[in-house]
Amino acid sequence: KKDKDKQLRTPIVSVLGHVDHGKTTLLDKIRKGRVTAKEAGGITQHIGATEIPIEMIKNICKDIWRKEVELPGLLFIDTPGHKAFTNLRRRGGALADLAILIVDINEGFKPQTEEALSILRTFRTPFVVAANKIDKIPAWQSPGFVPFLKSYSMQEDIAKNRLDNKIYELIGKLYEFGFSADRFDRITDFTRNVAIIPISALTGEGVPELLLVLVGLAQRFLEDSLRLHVSGKAKGTILEVKEEKGMGITCDVILYDGTLKVGDRIAIAMRDGVKVTHVKGILKPRPSQEMRLESKFRSVKSVVAAAGVKLIAADLEGVLAGSEFEAIESEKDIEEFRKRLEKE
């Protein structure tokens, strides 16, 4: 039975894949942003976070949107594909409720595709495969931001055959890694088969179906009763520790469970134990804005998981990116947090 007083959790969707296969470009398409153009050398070097409200997803899906869903939206996590950033890919993978594994359809599997896949397997994260850059398939004619099936139906046989062959190669590769996969429109049970959605992050082809399949998976994930509502203590991961003008040391975090309020005491994992401090301010990026580049944060009294926010707190010296934190009320909570850290 659903409890109206409880708040639904926003699922976290991490985007993983080999360098330059189009993760940030895909997110730019969804959020109508230009993050990719601002990256040094065109390389993502941090974990990004963008909250996409469900209305925005509905607008992209338009005609193919079928049913009402209860999700408030999705929190997308961007990760770097460059080989130097294995730790950030793992962190992005660890945070994910669901994931998009993005593969350049013309290049196929690459080393960091395989690494991302093994991270997803380790965490048992449900995922879909976005077979990106279909607009670059020779003879493919892009009609613009339309569903994949519409675009596909308009293609010459030669382009259709090229795409089909590339998809079969991906299915074969996924099979080698122990996953049964197929093109999304041939799948009936999305919990047993990995859906491959051909897309172009540049033109938008296929992005409506990608979002529709994700929302379907997310809804199923939320219906898993244990994870339906925001529950228990506020828990999160620190992404970056930054000195901000007029605020001192702040940190960008992903809150992945619970509700965090200004005034809450939190315990932060340190290299040699636990630091206890309290939350002096919570700054929220606007919806559809990449947190890393946001300049107009809103100061809020509380925030509900999952969310990417900037925290202002006392005594953040020595806190490291990647550290876990948890809201605490008593000495016992600190002890439990210590025990959780030891286990991990």
Q: Tell me which residues touch Mg ion (CB under 5 A).
A: 23-24, 44
Measured from the CB atom, the residue of 19 and 174 that comes closer to ligand GTP is 19
Partner touching 92 among ligand GTP, Na ion, Mg ion, none, CB below 5 to 8 Å by kind: none
- Residue 108, marked binder: no
3-class DSSP state of 193:
coil
**In residues, how long is the chain?**
344
- Residue 229, marked binder: no
User: In this structure, what token pair is assigned to residue 204?
Assistant: 């938008």
Measured from the CB atom, the residue of 47 and 75 that comes closer to ligand GTP is 47
CB of 177 to ligand GTP, least distance (A): 20
Listed in order, strand segments (DSSP E) in the chain are 12-17, 48-53, 73-78, 98-104, 127-132, 181-183, 194-198, 235-244, 248-257, 259-261, 265-270, 273-284, 298-300, 302-304, 307-313, 324-328
Q: Could you tell me which residues come within 8 angstroms of residue 48 by beta carbon, excluding any fewer than 6 positions away? A: 24, 27, 35, 76, 77, 78, 79, 290, 291, 292
Question: What's the rounded Cα separation, in Å, for the pair 123 and 255?
Answer: 18
Partner touching 202 among Mg ion, Na ion, ligand GTP, none, CB below 5 to 8 Å by kind: ligand GTP
Measured from the CB atom, the residue of 45 and 122 that comes closer to Na ion is 45
Contacts to ligand GTP from residues 21-60, by CB under 6 A: 21-25, 36, 42-44
Nearest to 24 by CA among 248, 292, 250: 292
Question: What's the rounded Cα separation, in Å, for the pair 52 and 211?
Answer: 11
| Structural Rg of the chain based on CA atoms | 20
Residue 333 touches Na ion, criterion: CB under 5 A: no
Amino acid at 87: N
- Residue 257, marked binder: no
CB of 271 to Mg ion, least distance (A): 29
CB of 81 to ligand GTP, least distance (A): 3
Partner touching 25 among ligand GTP, Na ion, Mg ion, none, CB below 5 to 8 Å by kind: ligand GTP
Measured from the CB atom, the residue of 36 and 289 that comes closer to ligand GTP is 36
Residue 14 touches ligand GTP, criterion: CB under 6 A: no
Contacts to Na ion from residues 19-38, by CB under 5 A: 20
When binding is defined by CB under 6 A, the residue of 121, 136, 160, 338 that contacts ligand GTP is 136
Per-residue binder mask for Na ion (CB under 5 A), 41-80, x = binder: -x--------------------------------------
192: number of Cβ within 10 Å: 8
Where do contacts with ligand GTP occur on this chain (CB under 6 A)?
A: 17, 19-25, 36, 42-44, 80-82, 132-133, 135-136, 200-202
